[in-house]
Chain A
Amino acid sequence: MKFKGGKVLLVVMLLALLAGNVLAAEAVKINLFFYKQEINTQMHELAAAFTKNHPNIDIELEMIPNDSMTVLKTRMSSGQAPDIIQLQSYSAVKEFAKAGWLLDLSKEPVMGKVVASTKNAVTYNGKQYALPMDVAGIGIIYNKAIFQKYGLNPPATFTELKKVCNALKKKGVTPFAGLFKANWSLGHIISMVHTSLAGDKLLPWLKTMEAGTGSFAKPVDVKRLFTILDFYKANVSKDAASMDWNEQQVAFATEKAAMMVQGLWSYGAAVSTNPKLDCGFIPFPCADNVKQTRLFADVDSTFALASSSSPEKQRAAKVFLEWLATPEAVKIWVEKCKLVPTFKGANVKSMQQPFQDLVSYLESGKTNPWAFSMYPVNVFEDACKNGAQEYMFGKKNATQVISYIDQTWKKESRK
């Protein structure tokens, strides 16, 4: 009996398999590779909504959360490039475009629908190689309840920030939830402060660096840069050295600290730990002039298409990119993924307060670009991230940090 049942099952399974293959042969299956782990389930929703509209195109999702670049590079060099690739803006897009892996999207109609200023993040040699998808900001996320309790206002200048921190410390509240165990957050911070202090001099300075004549110290007041880092160190949680991103989120969400210097992508994690959390989002003020306080915000993720895919897959992938600009897709992107879209006139009214804050800064043009994405990869990955961490732990002094950044940059620009 048992045996017979097994046989029937086998036949059914074989038939199902055959049927599946035949059906699948008609549809184009495209592979989408993404790294944003916080929107894993939402991406599936997005793909399902797309397939509903375009039944002949199937999207196979693949999420590689950590070290996505490692996996991606290995897959590229073994000839298994995904059809649609989620890439970080600037340097990742540039490097893959330079190597010829990406399709030129400059003439696609969807590129006309994104806000013009975001295109800079995906441009290489005057052409756009990816579709900018979301804008993210790095700044201070603060707990409104704590601020209200002690009668504090969100600071707009560095002096005000100092006052706020001193007031908080007097009440026994840690001003900033720290993150010193991993180096990336400190890398963001040193670049953020540097960019803010450099102001208008940023782009000319980057040119001098490329030419090999500049120095990290030149566009800024070095003293101020490192005083701000010292100030940050003096105001973070005591055991910041053993705090990673998780611990930072917990410390902030459980109201052990009143603020954290983080990207807005962290907000979701903090809120999921403590749903009652009421937050605001402001730029990290580095100057005493309110006009110079700008939000460190830029394009974060983009979608690029692989040049090695077959023509029909490329066509299908382009259909997907076009669809992303439709109100339906933007709605999922905004409401479910909680990401700030780059499309013109996108409706973001349903977003939570911190995101609204980000959008208002974007709309008023009060932002600084993510300069670290424009540094050579090695300069940011090694010299800035590790350098800032070494400074915080007293392993290097200001001069040593700057000279290491300059050396690394010289090596990179000589290539």
Chain B
Amino acid sequence: MVSSKQSKLCYFMLFLLPAFVLYTCFFILPFFQGIQYSFTDWNGIVPEIPFSMEQKEFDRKVLARLQHEKDLALLQKFYKLNDDGETYLLQNWIAEKGGHRQITAAEKKRIKKIFKSVGFSSIKFIGLENYRDMFQNDERFMPRVQKTYLFNQFDDLPPVIDSRTFQKYLLNHLKQGEDRNLVLRYYRLNREKAVYQLANPSVDSVVEKLQTVLAENMYRTTMVWGVLGFTLFFTFFNVILANLLAFLLALGLDQKLRARNCLRAIFFLPNVLSLIIVAFIWSFVFRLVLPAFTGITSWFEPDLAPYTVVIVSVWQSCGYLMIIYLAGLQAIPPEILEVAQIDGARRWQSLRHITLPLLLPAITICLFYSLSNSLKTFEVAMALTNGGPAYVTTPIVLDIYNNAFLQNRFGYGTAKAVFLCLIIMVVTGLQLTIMKKREVEL
């Protein structure tokens, strides 16, 4: 259809411009404001203009530094001393003819400007501090090596320690000297059983000394993946497993089965459920059903919990991906497959050389969708494990939430959000460029 320049303009004004304006208001501006907050120490509670200020501070820091008479008059209109004359309070409601009216946004903005002109702000600008904290000081964010101690100082001394543990985790950490000699004096090697046995130390002070030495020196160095590590772990497994499962389901349900509509609905159903409900169902399953089958008593131990979260997420998200794959499969003309069959292609060959290449657009979309969704996952971990135990299942978004809303470090949380945004842009951008190059046009 050929359209005139005028109607093009009309369409632009009618549809695109409003959308663009809305997009600017609700996405682009807040986005940059967010970046701005990431350089501050805002705690999420302090208002932009102070509601109350001590009289001395107000006089010294604000009133004394004002340049214009007009500003002074304005501030005096909105800030009044309270009854005991100690603090200035912002007059949120101004008495006027016929009642009270609330201070307007424009007035607030002007007050904010005046405060800014004297160099006073309730939110401090701290430069890159938040980012430095995130990468260097935050014990929970970046992957790091940590010592896991094997003996608790207040427990009774273990009567036997197997020789491998003893050598690797204890003796290796002890230099030649008193402590090493003490340990070797009371723990004697029993070669037959390959264990070190405790030779009865009867004096209390010796026991205590041994306890201290063991508690401090018997440890394993392990990698703690941290929030970033868990997010990447989750993304890796969730993307691969969910897509694989969805693809297999789609292949199966593309066949001419009698119950296929019913089956499609069943597999899609988890996606319709609220994640809170899903988490409830699954925590029930993990607590009462699965232990009976698998013999694993607790699925929420720190070592297992990350996998638990992945399982639920895969179960939940593969239905949606399956629908996309199904649509892709059905868009492949049956003639091509028939021709291949006539030419003698076996099932595997036609899947490998015809179906997969033609399905690439769907794969691109599914990977993009699950990648970006996994990187910013939140609900499953929040509802199923609440990030625990011991913080091992906390993805970045939940960590941001904890920082901003539970720990009152809004600026810091925003800095992490900006970092997450960068990660998502880089990862999905890479994925899209690589995949787009490989897609074939039909």
Contacts and interface: CB of A to CB of B under 8 A. Distances in A.
Interface of A: 67, 69-70, 73, 76-77, 95-96, 98-101, 104, 180-183, 223, 226-227, 230, 238-239, 241-244, 247, 307-312, 377-378, 381-382, 386, 389-390, 392-398, 400, 404, 415
A385 to B, nearest CB: 9
Interface in B37-78: 41, 43-47, 50-52
A181 B401 CA distance: 19
Given A393-B301, A398-B152, 5 more contacts: A101-B45, A242-B300, A307-B51, A309-B92, A382-B407
Going nearest first, the 7 A-B pairs with the smallest beta carbon separation are A100-B51, A397-B149, A390-B390, A242-B300, A241-B298, A70-B405, A100-B52
Contacts, number: 127
A182 B406 CA distance: 15
Sort chain B's interface into a size bin.
Answer: 35 or more
Interface stretch (B252-260, B309-317, B381-389): B381-389
Contacts of B406: 69, 377, 381-382
A70 B413 CA distance: 13
A181 B45 contact: no
B405 A242 contact: no
Contacts of B152: 226, 230, 397-398
Interface string B282-307: 01001100010000011111100000
Contacts of B92: 307-309
**Mostly helix, strand, loop or mixed at chain B's interface?**
loop
Interface in B140-180: 140, 148-149, 152-155
A404 B386 contact: no
Contacts of B385: 181
B100 A382 contact: no
B316 to A, nearest CB: 19
Interface in B347-402: 385-386, 388-392, 401-402
B93 interface: yes
A396 B392 CA distance: 13
A223 B154 contact: yes
A243 B388 CA distance: 12
A183 B388 contact: yes
**Mostly helix, strand, loop or mixed at chain A's interface?**
helix
A395 B155 contact: no
A312 B408 CA distance: 32
Contacts of A95: 43, 45, 408
A257 to B, nearest CB: 15
B215 interface: yes
Contacts of A77: 44-45, 47
Contacts of A415: 41
Interface in B80-112: 82, 89-90, 92-93, 100, 102
A224 to B, nearest CB: 9
Contacts of A104: 82
Given A73-B45, A95-B45, A310-B100, A242 B51 contact: no
B338 interface: no
A392 B298 CA distance: 14
Given A69-B405, A99-B51, A100-B90, A183 B389 contact: yes
B153 A223 contact: yes
A29 to B, nearest CB: 15
Contacts of A393: 301-302, 389-390
A244 B148 contact: no
A307 B298 contact: no
B416 interface: no
A242 B285 CA distance: 11
B393 to A, nearest CB: 11
B100 A101 contact: no
B390 A386 contact: yes
